[in-house]
């Protein structure tokens, strides 16, 4: 009786999450290669002709502000790490309205400007996390993630006796048997993709929690502060705090007198991302407020830094991304096979 009730919960939660899983599985598999796709489609935005000494960061900051009306909060999203790379800045008007500006660091010329939903992979990312519906869509995706977690837990219990058979290739898909093929396929995919699906759901919930948090409540839009800040001087001070760090991003103060945050990589593993080590400085005098050298990071900091990379497979090169893409289709196949099983039992069995 207990198994029957748990199977009923598994079926209901699977059906509720099924349609969304088809969408999330498809878009997520494409987003694994989002960087490669975007660089291929927008080469001119990322590449520049080296031309002597780059302009001061203060000058480039003002160029970025001039390219965005309304003086929005502006960050140095990615500093050039090679002579032929552009400078990428992000203007934040709201959680759902961000503009990316690509500058030539030698001339300050705007190479490209686009909204967060105005390009292919940006559109897919917004669809993946918000269903193109802002706060309401992000809440729906968060709820679907929890429902999927329940579906996985109940599925593990229902198919517990089949785990050994599937993993030792003794439980085969009966393709010629019409009544069993989808049920067997559903079970085999579910068992083999169990660990990966749990990883996707748990990391997805952690990411989505932040996405929802950025959209809940009426938060006033941040604007760029007017206090003069010598970003080049602070950049050198930040580099001196953590030997060997490559500074990739800068977050200016969100309010007058606030700190400047420098983010970069000090040799940590790719699974922790490129922005794990940070130095927070007081803009007036360059005094250190906080420093995180990721070599001595806590377990909590390491887990938090690895969430995004584990979700999208951005830590093992192209081979791992191909694997993540293929495995990322598993939730969609589970949803499709589950819907077909339900359809057969609900309608075709009666006939």
- So what's the pLDDT on residue 349? 57
Mean pLDDT of all residues in 203-211: 96
Rg over alpha carbons for the chain, rounded to the nearest Å, is 24
CATH of the domain at 107: 3.10.450
Work out the burial of residue 262: count CB atoms within 10 Å of its CB; fewer than 13 is exposed, 13-18 middle, 19 or more buried: buried
Number of Cα atoms under 13 Å in the Cβ half of residue 22: 10
Mean pLDDT of all residues in 142-161: 91
Task: Show the tokens assigned to 267.
Answer: 């040799």
Tell which residue, 113, 129, 142, 134, has the closest CA to residue 31.
129
Give the end of a domain, one of 80, 98, 118.
118
C-alpha dist (Å) from residue 54 to 60, 63, 109, 263, 324? 9, 13, 12, 20, 38
Q: Does residue 203 lie in a domain region? A: yes
Q: Which domain holds residue 59?
A: 50-118
Residues 21 and 63 in one domain: no
Residue 351 has pLDDT above 60, yes or no: no
Biggest CA-to-CA distance, the chain: 80
DSSP-derived secondary structure for 138-175 = HHHHHHHHHHHHHHHHHHHHHTGGGHHHHHTT-S---T
Q: Which pTM was predicted?
A: 0.90
List, for residues 28-70, the tens digit of each pLDDT value: 999 999 999 999 999 999 999 998 899 999 999 999 999 999 9
Does residue 87 contact residue 58 with C-beta atoms inside 8 Å? Answer: no
Residues 188 and 331 in one domain: yes
Residues 27 and 133 in one domain: yes
Q: What are phi and psi of 139, to 5 degrees?
A: -65, -40
Does residue 239 contact residue 247 with C-beta atoms inside 8 Å? Answer: yes
Residues 113 and 132 in one domain: no
Does residue 30 contact residue 326 with C-beta atoms inside 8 Å? Answer: no
Residues 6 and 145 in one domain: yes
Q: How far apart are CA 220 and CA 211, in angstroms?
A: 17
pLDDT category of residue 150 using cuts at 50, 70 and 90: very high
Residues 65 and 181 in one domain: no
Q: How many domains does the chain have?
A: 2
Tell which residue, 340, 338, 325, 339, has the closest CA to residue 159.
338
Q: Does residue 294 lie in a domain region? A: no
DSSP state of 281: E
- So what's the pLDDT on residue 218? 60
Q: How far apart are CA 128 and CA 112, in angstroms?
A: 24
Kindly report the average pLDDT of the chain as a whole number: 91
DSSP-derived secondary structure for 98-123 = EEEEEE-TTT--EEEEEETTSSHHHH
Helices (H), the chain: 2-31, 34-41, 43-46, 57-66, 120-130, 134-158, 163-167, 181-192, 194-213, 231-241, 299-312, 317-328, 330-343
Q: How far apart are CA 330 and CA 66, in angstroms?
A: 46
C-alpha dist (Å) from residue 297 to 46, 265, 301, 303? 32, 13, 6, 10
Q: Does residue 244 lie in a domain region? A: no
Residue 277: CB atoms within 10 A of its CB come to: 28
Q: Does residue 67 lie in a domain region? A: yes
Residues 57 and 192 in one domain: no
Q: Does residue 309 lie in a domain region? A: no
Residues 169 and 93 in one domain: no
Mean pLDDT of all residues in 230-253: 97
Task: Show the tokens assigned to 15.
Answer: 């059906």
Q: Does residue 283 lie in a domain region? A: no
Residues 205 and 84 in one domain: no
Residues 322 and 207 in one domain: yes
26 CB contacts (<8 Å, ≥6 apart)? 329, 332
Least confident interval from 181-185, 217-221, 228-232, 263-267: 217-221
- So what's the pLDDT on residue 175? 67
- So what's the pLDDT on residue 219? 67
Q: What are phi and psi of 216, to 5 degrees?
A: -85, 140
List, for residues 78-100, the tens digit of each pLDDT value: 999 999 999 999 999 999 999 99
Q: Does residue 61 lie in a domain region? A: yes
Q: Does residue 257 lie in a domain region? A: no
Mean pLDDT of all residues in 179-196: 82
Residues 133 and 209 in one domain: yes
Pairing of strands 87-94, 246-251: unpaired
Of the two residues 248 and 347, the one the predictor is more confident about is 248
- So what's the pLDDT on residue 341? 80
Residues 27 and 135 in one domain: yes
- So what's the pLDDT on residue 178? 66
Give the end of a domain, one of 100, 118, 136.
118
């Amino acid at each position: 009786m207990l198994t029957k009730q748990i199977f009923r919960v598994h079926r209901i939660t699977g059906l509720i999450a099924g349609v969304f899983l088809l969408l999330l599985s498809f878009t997520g598999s494409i987003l694994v290669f989002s960087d490669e796709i975007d660089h291929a489609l927008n080469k001119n935005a990322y590449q520049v002709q080296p031309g002597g000494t780059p302009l001061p960061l203060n000058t480039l900051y003002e160029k970025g502000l001039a390219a965005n009306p309304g003086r929005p909060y502006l960050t140095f999203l990615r500093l050039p790490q090679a002579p032929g790379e552009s400078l990428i800045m992000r203007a934040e008007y709201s959680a759902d309205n961000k503009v990316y500006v690509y500058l030539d660091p030698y001339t300050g010329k705007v190479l490209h400007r686009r909204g967060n939903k105005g390009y292919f992979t940006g559109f897919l990312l917004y669809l993946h996390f918000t269903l193109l519906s802002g706060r309401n869509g992000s809440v729906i995706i968060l709820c679907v993630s929890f429902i999927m977690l329940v579906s996985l837990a109940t599925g593990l219990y229902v198919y517990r006796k089949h785990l050994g058979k599937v993993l030792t290739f003794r439980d085969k898909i009966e393709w010629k048997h019409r009544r069993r093929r989808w049920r067997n396929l559903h079970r085999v995919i579910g068992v083999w993709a169990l660990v990966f699906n749990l990883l996707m759901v748990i990391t997805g919930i952690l990411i989505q929690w932040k996405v929802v948090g950025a959209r809940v409540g009426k938060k006033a839009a941040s604007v760029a502060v007017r206090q003069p800040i010598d970003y080049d001087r602070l950049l050198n001070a930040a580099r001196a705090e953590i030997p060997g760090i490559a500074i990739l991003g800068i977050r200016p103060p969100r309010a007058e007198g606030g700190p400047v945050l420098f983010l970069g990589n000090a040799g940590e593993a790719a699974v922790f991302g490129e922005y794990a080590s940070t130095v927070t400085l007081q803009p007036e005098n360059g005094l250190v407020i906080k420093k995180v050298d990721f070599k001595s990071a806590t377990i909590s900091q390491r887990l938090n830094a690895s969430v995004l990379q584990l979700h999208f497979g951005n830590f093992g090169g192209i081979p791992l991304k191909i694997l993540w893409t293929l495995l990322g289709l598993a939730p969609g196949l589970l949803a499709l096979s589950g819907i077909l099983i339900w359809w057969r039992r609900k309608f075709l069995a009666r006939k």
